[in-house]
Structure 1
Amino acid sequence: MSSSLFELVFNGSPIGNYLLTPTPEATIIAVNDAFLKASSRRREDLVGISLFEAFPGNPADADDSGEAALRRSLARVVETGQPDPLPAQRYPIQVELPGGGVAYEERFWGAVSTPIFDDDGRIVCISHTTIDMTEQVNSAAALTESERRYRALATATEDVVYRMSPDWSHMRQLEGRGFLKDIAQPRRSWLEEFIPQEDQEGVNKAVHDAIRNKTIFQLEHRVRRVDGTCGWTASRAVPMLDADGEIYEWIGAASDITERKEAEQKLKDADRRKDEFLAMLAHELRNPLAPIGAAAELLQIANLDEARVRQTSQIISRQVAHMSQLIDDLLDVSRVTRGLVSLDKTPVDIRRVLMEAVEQVAPLIHAQRHHLELHLPPGATIVTGDKNRLVQVFVNILNNAAKYTPGEGRLELGADVEASRVVVSVTDNGVGMTPDVAAHAFELFSQAKRTPDRSSGGLGIGLALVRSLVELHHGTVSCESPGDGMGSRFVVCLPRACVEPVHSEGMRSSGSSAEPATSLRIMVVDDNVDAASALAMLLEALGHEVMVEHRPTRALQRAREAAPQVCLLDIGLPEMDGYELARRLRAAPETASSLLIAVTGYGQESDRESALAAGFDHHLIKPIDPKKLYSLLAEVSV
């Protein structure tokens, strides 16, 4: 080949090339146009000088090992007489800055050093071809970094990451993060393996719609988890499209939303129970209102004898007591669930608690003609607790047993004494419970299935109150039933106290006598005209002198004139509330020592404290218990 032709081939090559002397200095003999362009150098600046002088290493760059690697490669060529390739090698090159000075620009080069021999077999020069691989290396590094970030993200997230074939026939990859099983090999049976049978049709439909429309697949469905349980997932997959717009793969992620779904279901169940409770409460409140309304109408239109009037008033009293009990239960549940109940704990004999509970439920048991068996310990068994609240616990359980057992049923109340606890059980042969009802029996608003005559199902507050009160006593309560129509058993466990019994005060007279010891001057203040009039008539029937006012300002004036010994004040009054009225009455000399009684529909402990702070002596909740009122009036000295 002629020298001119060699020069044309040498300079026309698209691959950078220069010829070096086979010496340690590696002097540049020739350089082609492709290398000049790649290195941004001129031929006259390179030819005749050492390669390592033309392209010196950066002494400030500890990672710049390009010069040393190139020297070793050239030495191997001279030593072996064989070509020596170098992979992509980091070799920053020196560049001149526009404003003067020099800097090093990071470059990566792929190179092959080939020995050129003369006719005698001696190396006359080394052909050094180079390819600037900076762009490829940077692209590969960016891809590697992107993959590393993706892996970090996939590891950090709790989502499942998966890849699917275009038609979803194969699951190509699944990384479950402990939620679903990881897979390394493609799976054809992914649908049957991961999706419950009843959800497969919905998943298939959503998949086919996404494939047909080339849109994002997204669906909430149930899924088999790695622990064998069935949970919920929110799955979303994006179609990957090629240059022709065809799907070549799906990339998706699935979140474990089991806890959220369970929480949503609990909210739905609670909302349903609330609606059932409100409907039942309305029914329960209308029941006593019907006889009260009929009795009131009867008193207006008929000329009744004394016996019939007494019978009518007894009907009204019983129904009012029933309504009051419903309201008290509701308030109790509210106070307990908000942590506003404080217990008056003392050593209590559990036998006495159970006997008082039986005494309170006895009328219902007798009315239903039930047979009640008692199995109580022979001696005193002491627990530490609030006696009234413990009685309330067992009244509720016994009341449930009596209510949900058909007439002439069998009830059993037993108490077993163990070393550290007392176990009280109430067993009946009544309507029983299904497993799902038993599992939620102590939840607020939980009710059994109701029938039109209300022979089953209740307000759903009694047993919730039982559990809360028992837990406040550091005890436990549970229930079990073989099933519908097979009876129920409730068990309460209370810690046993290691103390001697404290003998409770004997049963006192209820003080229900309507005969007052002394006639008193009483002022009733209530803006509800009917309520004030009814209370006034009751007090007058007892022989008291009663004055009625409906406005606080008029009541203050009347009090200065008449100096009442007792003032019954409503709290929700116009102009000023009952608290302010009480403060002014207490400040007036005519009523400074009068007995002030708050009469209100607000029965929280905070309401009672507010009344006492305002100067009231007592706090009564509407409707007033006549026995309590008689007792308070009997204590007034003239």
Structure 2
Amino acid sequence: MELTENQDLFQAIFDSTANGITVIRPVYNEEREINDFSILFLNSHVLKQLDDLYYKGRLYSEVFPGIKENGILEKFINTAETGISTDFECKYTSNGLKFWFRFAAVKKDELLVITSENLTKKKKTEIALKSALETAEKQTRFYHSITNTTPDLVYVFDLSYKFTYANKALLAMWGKSAEDAIGKGLRDNGYEEWHAAMHEKEIDEVVASKKTIRGTVSFPHAELGSRVYDYIFAPVFNEDGEVEAIAGTTRDITEIKQAEEQQLLASRKIEESEATLRSMIDQTPSPTLVLMGDDLVIKQINKHMLAMIGRGEEIIGMPLIDVLPELRGQYVWTQVQNVYNEGMPFDQSEVLVQHNRTGVMRDYYYNLAYRPLIEDGKITGMIQVAVDVTEQVVARKKMEESENRFRVLVNASSDFVYRMNADWTVMRNLEGIDLQSDEGDVVFNWIDKFIYIEDQQKALKLITDAIENKKIFEMEHRALKPDGTLGWTFSRAIPILDDQNNIIEWFGAAGDISSQKEVQQIIKDSEEKFRQLADLVPQVIWTAKPDGYVDYYNKRWYEYTGLDEEKFGDESWVPMLHRDDVLPVLEAWYISVQNGSSYQLEFRLENKNTGLYRWFLSKAVPIRDKTGVIVRWFGTCTDIHEQKTITEKLESLVADRTKELQRSNEDLQQFAHVASHDLKEPVRKIKTFTSRLEEHLEGNLDESAARFIGRIHVAADRMFNMIDGVLMYSKINANLQKATLVDLNDVLKNIETDLEVSLQNTKGEIHYNDLPKLEGASVLLYQLFYNLINNSIKFAKNGVPPKITISSKIIMENQKVIALMTVEDNGIGFENEQSAQIFETFTRLNSKDVYEGTGLGLSLCKKIVERHGGSITAVGRPYAGAVFTIKLPLKQQEMGI
């Protein structure tokens, strides 16, 4: 009881201890047995575990309910009953949390003093450490198990290049035990010098860079011989982040390398095989393609097949039927499917296929060869070879048709058609039947029968030459007609050659040309008459072939040039031309010949007798047959030297006169400028002295005098404006303006600025939008629109603000692009009959006392428009406004205006 007498002292001592201290008193039941304890004191260490700080007098098991479940209360009761102190560790659960405590219970009189030490952190640390140790041991076992069972080489170096660990695979490769190998360096374990030096350098690099490195090396195995290894060196770090060791793994990749080499070799062989196949397909002269898969996708196709179907390489990878959908339902597509599905090769010539490879569906004929591609006993695709024989088939059919027509024509022809053997000894008809004489004998000596005796020698010579040189025999010869008269025959025979270029037979025809001969004679006589007439003409007359080659001159040409009468073509007439005329003449003549158009040109020709050149006018026209084809050119050369000389003199006189007129015009322009300047001076003095007189008599002028002075001012101003107008009008034609691209929108903006005061005074408006850009003189175009707009403001109706609207559109006129513009106002207008009169110089339609002006504004507008190659017209009605229509080309033909 003495312990409890000074409670404050007791509490202070209890709180100062490092462990928990509890003082409890036994509580007895009815049988005088201890069944619980009453709490007297708890120090601060125990109080920290309680949510409810009020504990005195409460039961121990109530404050610490977990003591009954884990046997703590039972041990305290035993100490209280026996007086034997107890000391034990126990796990204690409170509010779902686990704690470990060490309890010591000592009985003092009737009280029980319990000290408790919280072992929770220690226990958790021990448990964690134990778990970590167990995990480490387990990992060590796993590590040893893995490193010793893996075929890879696993090892660890210290920083002095010595092995601190080597797994069984590495020891087996060395053929050593761990005791013999661990703690030794690379060279001690059998590494060659280069190999050891390389790894030591790599270890230094890992230590310095703290990074993993990887490499491949080949060295001998103790049992397996030379092997290839892939290795990795990785740094092992201590707690300070410094490298304390180097861990390495090495894997035997010999089989992998061999497999890769074999795979690479196989891949190369496959690629070479595919390349060879591709090259064979690309180089084969026949159109070829490879189809693969059930969809028969185009795997490969050569350029010949692409050209034949009219497509590009974009079709590679597409199903054939998508590329040529027109094949569906045709015989050829059925055969393609049979080859792929049944594996039966297909070969057939001249197969009809309809498709539109040129964009138009038509018939084609092909020699086709299809072969299935079989891999591992399964059809995987097919190869197609298609040779286009359309031309041959069509040609053969045409030939058959031609042969039939030929036989019909031959039989219908009046010509004698025949065949002869190689040496011309036997003649047969077209059907191969030997020709017979009138007596029925085979014709051998047919020359005597069909060629007149006087022409036989020539015939034999031509026949011999044709046989020896294997060339066509042609001859006009005479022959006796059935009626006994002598006529002309044209015979022609063509040799038929075999593959060895030997003559098999001759095919010939003979026709009666007696009438043609008679016509030729008539033409010859006519040409002779033409030549005689041409020689009588004083002009040079010439003719040329359709290609422009001159083949005839009359006598006048040779008399003038002195050339040999056998000379024709360019070699005769071109050298006779003046050197300045050669190129123009040749170019003009070439164009005429090419276009079939008439030829006319002036040029100079040299007279060989005098050595001088004279001017000629040459003309030529093409002579055409009934079908319009040129068969000959007929030309003349006429001496125009005197006329040409007179013309040149006239041109010189005109040029001189033009210069004089230009000089006179410049003088007149200078005079107009000086005159206008001199005229302005007296007008200016009239205005000055009138103003002074008005100032001098200010206040003394009656109404009439003031009105007279005002009229003097108006007249002087009008005179001043008239002089400016005359000067401006004269300058319009005098100065050449440079054509530039002018934006009419900008021109109108400038005019609005310049007329700002007039527009404000009259409340006038100008409306325009999207006017064109065109080539012209910007100064003149400004003057054009300024005069038109100023006129509209000037001639506005009294009390009505002027409104000017300018619109435009682009039209085609006389094959030129034209800007059509209208300037419309709401002014006083004019009579429509006066629409042409208003553009005349000094024309006025209204009184000068009412409307100011010189009468030159619209005439200036007309001159400006005409200088730009355009036109201006006007339409008006009295007091209903006026509309001016302007047409200007967008582009000027010349740079100067």
- Range into which the TM-score falls when normalised by the shorter chain: 0.3 to 0.5
Q: Structure 1 or 2: larger strand share?
A: 2
| Larger RCO (alpha carbons 8 Å, 6+ apart) | 1
**Computing the radius of gyration over CA atoms, which structure comes out larger, 1 or 2?**
2
